Amino acid sequence: MVQTSLHWEGVQENLELFSAKIAAIKEPTDLILLPEMFSTGFSMQPGKLAEKMDGKTMVWLKEQAKKKNCVIAGSIIIEEGGKYFNRLVWMRPDGSYECYNKRHLFRYGNEHEHYAPGKKRLIVELKGWKICPMICYDLRFPVWSRN
């Protein structure tokens, strides 16, 4: 897990920061987990910060996963179909990926006023492990992951 202070709404600065941190990992690694909204910080400005699925951060994720030969996962702000999502991307080294849109939006932070909730769980496999990725507030709803 790479947990660090972020450059508020600074996509380029954050991608450079995480590039350096990932490059510094010398041990063989199967999975690197990045923070929620790792490229921007937890922002309620999706109209200003959202990317498409072929945007800069997706290209960066694909490059980093290939370089490290491991899965890299973290959430980013995505615009799709006129809606904004807090979307976790599970990027594999071969460039294939899967996504999970945060289901339980943090109402106390008014996340529900800016983002659409996800509707489907994601279960991925890595080295024989089945993993159900969730984003932050989702962990407060264990039935969601159990059912």
Our answer to whether residue 36 is catalytic in this structure is: yes
Q: Which of 62, 68, 99, 136 is catalytic?
A: 136
Our answer to whether residue 26 is catalytic in this structure is: no
Q: Which of 62, 70, 102, 111 is catalytic?
A: 102
To which H or E segment does residue 49 belong? helix 46-49
Q: Which of 36, 62, 68, 99 is catalytic?
A: 36
- What single string gives the DSSP state of each residue in 93-131? TTS-EEEEE-SS--GGGTGGGT-PPP-----EEETTEEE
Our answer to whether residue 136 is catalytic in this structure is: yes
Non-local (6+) Cβ contacts of 75 within 8 A are 34, 35, 36, 37, 38, 86, 87, 88, 89, 102, 135
Q: Which of 100, 108, 98 is nearest to 140 (CA)?
A: 108
Residues that are catalytic:
36, 102, 136
